[in-house]
Amino acid sequence: MDIRQPSPLMPGDAVGIAAPASPFDRAAFESGCRIVESLGFKPVFSEDVFASHSFFAGSDRLRARLLNAFFAEPGIRGIWTVRGGYGFLRILPLLDYSLIRANPKVIIGCSDISAGLNTICRNCGISTVHGPMIASLANADKATLASVISLVSGGSLPVLEAAGPVIACGKAEGPVMGGNLTTLCHMLGTPYEPDFKGAVLFLEDIGEKPYRIDRMMFQMKLAGVLEKIVGVCLGTFVNCGELSSVYKIFENTFKYTGVPVLAGFQAGHSFPNLSFPIGLSALLDTDAGTLTYTPTASGR
């Protein structure tokens, strides 16, 4: 499937603020909306965004209805999610993919929002944005804000630089898929499993001990994911133990496979949290230490 890029956001555009996962801190929400305004956009939200049901920001049907409504509303030009946590997986069967496909819009998020970013990309042929969320914007550094505003406003496709190390040498090109490792593993074997064929796989996580990361990577191996991908980019692994132990897991996982693996990308659960498109093609080059997005006929 050819992946389309939604129209870029323009100054003054209305951006829907959606909470498809966990509840959030009201003060962080308000601070994030002020940042959105400072970036030149108009944040729009329903009072229903503050709903709470169990450990979700409202019932499954409410969260899905609000998200579908933003895609349906012509005046809303983009969608920015508030926070992750847990919950987007539950509303995947309730989203109107025909509606979304007919009304492509920028949608931004990370962490648990990875479930929606990858599913919308696969089911609707629309690139999505792995980037910072509303509840974190007040703490975001200049690099994080500059990165997301450039990407959603139609700037040049990004070139992401990694701090290293190189875990397995090589070059690979393909659509960038992935996000939060834990979330992706929960999608395996479901109708919403991302399309990993020929993909450069991006992974990050937070609060997972090394043995659990090893378990999840072995689950991916048993599910056949690692036979499909052409390269791996590693973002931040916050509070996941010694990074050397985490990187050793990936070294052992991809030993003898010929799949290049590059670590140290500034994306995930820390700052800078640089933004990049899910679904568009990029070249991973471990010699250069970069992930370079490559324009296509259907892209910029």
Number of neighbouring beta carbons within 10 Å of residue 75: 10
Q: Answer for the pair 156, 180: CB distance below 8 angstroms, yes or no.
A: no
Q: Distance between CA atoms of 299 and 157, rounded to whole angstroms?
A: 9
Residue 53 annotated to the active site: no
Number of neighbouring beta carbons within 10 Å of residue 214: 18
Q: Which residue has 């700037």 as its token pair?
A: 155
Q: Distance between CA atoms of 185 and 229, rounded to whole angstroms?
A: 15
Q: Distance between CA atoms of 232 and 217, rounded to whole angstroms?
A: 12
Sign, Cα dihedral of 172, 269, 144, 4:
positive
Q: Among candidates 61, 73, 59, 55, which has minimal Cα distance to 15?
A: 73
From the candidates 127, 204, 208, 281, which is the catalytic residue? 204
What's the alpha-carbon Rg for the chain, to the nearest Å? 18
Q: Which two tokens stand for residue 178?
A: 């992935």
Inter-CA distances, 63 with 102, 149, 206, Å: 20, 26, 24
Q: Distance between CA atoms of 24 and 135, rounded to whole angstroms?
A: 7
From the candidates 22, 111, 114, 147, which is the catalytic residue? 111
Residue 111 annotated to the active site: yes
From the candidates 147, 186, 208, 269, which is the catalytic residue? 269
Residue 269 annotated to the active site: yes
Q: Which two tokens stand for residue 114?
A: 């990875």
Which residues are known to be catalytic?
Answer: 111, 204, 269
